Structure 1
């Protein structure tokens, strides 16, 4: 059974399809390579930026945005809306599983910005850079820096 945190309004988000936000700590931890949520605390990682976007195999939904903690995800509307728009961007700019694409990430950031969420994208990239630094992750640092350089103004 899928526990839905929220079903997105297709008119508001300009999508032809049903997108649900679901919470799955286990899925998020597994994909990001953490064995336990305690590692997030140890490395001071903000779980709101650890999101996934999947095509659904369920008849009633077309896509899922998977978040670590739905309540925490909703705490800052700037971050929440920027992430939703960014993830929706992956419909047009997909990134294959276990791969990275700076171009796709930048295009998805642009979609969020075009829909009025510059502040949220900026917050997300700052949190991502903090996480990259905490983990001493050179690739994530490089990708995040490239995304930040593409921000307007």
Structure 2
């Protein structure tokens, strides 16, 4: 049970789960109660088995995923902010952290948005200091800035 609490505390420290901290704080308790109720329901005696705890954890993890999906904080944001988040996800899941400015039309088609909305999304990334405009040779690139929680993956201070 302590391992579950540590896992939840680690998750609560991550910025991508900041909106869900209240639920994460209660997650270990929900798992313990579910495992105990299943133990009693099955007519078992003695200690609750590790298997029942793991099953309860999987069920609670599923419900947490559904909760995150249905309570996405981006749903409350303006379209420009949602478009910026979609653009950032699309670029980060690609092979590079940048794209050429003159390819905005192609990128808009891939994302299923208008070029006007895509330009607004790019502007929002600039406003939030999540992207910069760079010039390389004769082309302009829009480059994403790594999020603060991924800097450990780029610079490992233990190497120095």
TM-score over 0.5 (shorter chain): no
Which structure has more relative contact order (CA 8 Å, sep 6+)? It is: 1
Q: Quick check: which has more Rg, 1 or 2? A: 2
TM-score if structure 1 supplies the norm length? 0.30
Larger helix proportion, structure 1 or 2?
2
